Structures are given as structure tokens and as C-alpha cells.
Amino acid sequence: MRVANWRGHEVFDDTYSKAVNNANEFMDTVVEDAKRRCPPPGKTHIYRPPGFSSATVSFTPKTGRNKGQLVTFRTDKRWTGREPGNLKSTIRRVTKGGNIRAYAGNFLYYWAFMVERGTSSTGWGGPAPAQPFLRPAFRAGKTRAIAAIGGK
């Protein structure tokens, strides 16, 4: 059976672009909701003044030129600053290939997962309780996401 003048490619492209646009719009609402749910500054139990700190690193390589020898060096590249409000400003939507994701944190403000999932021990005051903000934001709109991606 042959269907004359069927423009399947155009129909599928149009449907795909609508689904991607709907998914992007939904993820933007998730990001807004996550920012609203993010613990307010000073309530995350994880705060340190901004700046870099030095560290002494020691290890014994298993391969290479120094195999089996203790190697020690100092580094001043470790960022330790944890300022109030910075976590909320790092929540964003990222599109990579066909994936649309919401992220929190970056290389300077890397403690988003500690706030989201909690810690068993912080080393300076005991464990920090979980204060989830990304997962509840996504779960709150799960049915809306399915409807939005489906175009309903």
C-alpha cells in the first residue's frame, strides 16, 4: 500500500521539536521550583569564608617513574569558600545531546550534593541532615512532565 504525498519526515520533525520545547519548558519550571525550595542562606549547615587553601598531598604511585616511592607535594588550588546564596545561583538547566537535566553546583560551589543528600560526618560539627531541593522539585511535577513531553 502506498500513501501519496505523505510528509512523514515533516510531521515527525514537528512532533519532535514540540516535545523538546515542552521538555525544556518543564525543566525550567523544575529549576524555578528547586531555587524556591533551596535552603535559605545560612541554613545549610555548610559555611566557610571564601578563598583558596593549601594542602599537602602524599601518595605512593603504583605505576610510573616514582612507582613504590612516597610522593609529597603542596597545592594552593583548593577552593574552600562556601558563601550564603551561592548554591541557589548555581541551579540551572543544561541540555547535552538529547538529554535535558537540572544541575546544582559547579567546581567552586561543589557542595550541592551534600545539602541535597546530607552527610554522615562533616568533621566540624557532626552530620548535616539532608535538605533536598532538586529531587522534590522534579517529583512534584512528574505528571506535568509526562503531559508536557507528550504534548497533551
Task: Return all residues near 27 (Cβ < 8 A) that are at least 6 apart.
Answer: 93, 100, 101, 102
What gap in Å lies between CA 22 and CA 100, rounded to an integer?
11
- Which of 39-43, 87-91, 99-103, 130-134 shows the lowest mean pLDDT across its residues? 39-43
Q: Closest Cα partner for 45 from 135, 144, 111, 101? A: 111
| Lookup: cell for 11 | 510531521
SS3 state at 109: coil
Model confidence over 37-96: pLDDT tens digits? 988 766 555 556 666 677 788 889 888 888 999 988 887 666 666 666 778 888 999 998
Question: Which contiguous run of DSSP H or E holds residue 99?
Answer: strand 99-103
pLDDT value, residue 19: 81
Q: Who wins on pLDDT, 77 or 127?
A: 127
Q: How confident is the model at residue 35 (pLDDT cuts 50, 70, 90)?
A: very high
Task: Return all residues near 65 (Cβ < 8 A) that are at least 6 apart.
Answer: none
Q: How confident is the model at residue 14 (pLDDT cuts 50, 70, 90)?
A: confident
SS3 state at 106: coil
pLDDT value, residue 146: 76
Q: Is 137 exposed, middle or buried (0-12, 13-18, 19+ CB in 10 A)?
A: buried
Q: How many CB atoms lie within 10 A of CB 21?
A: 13
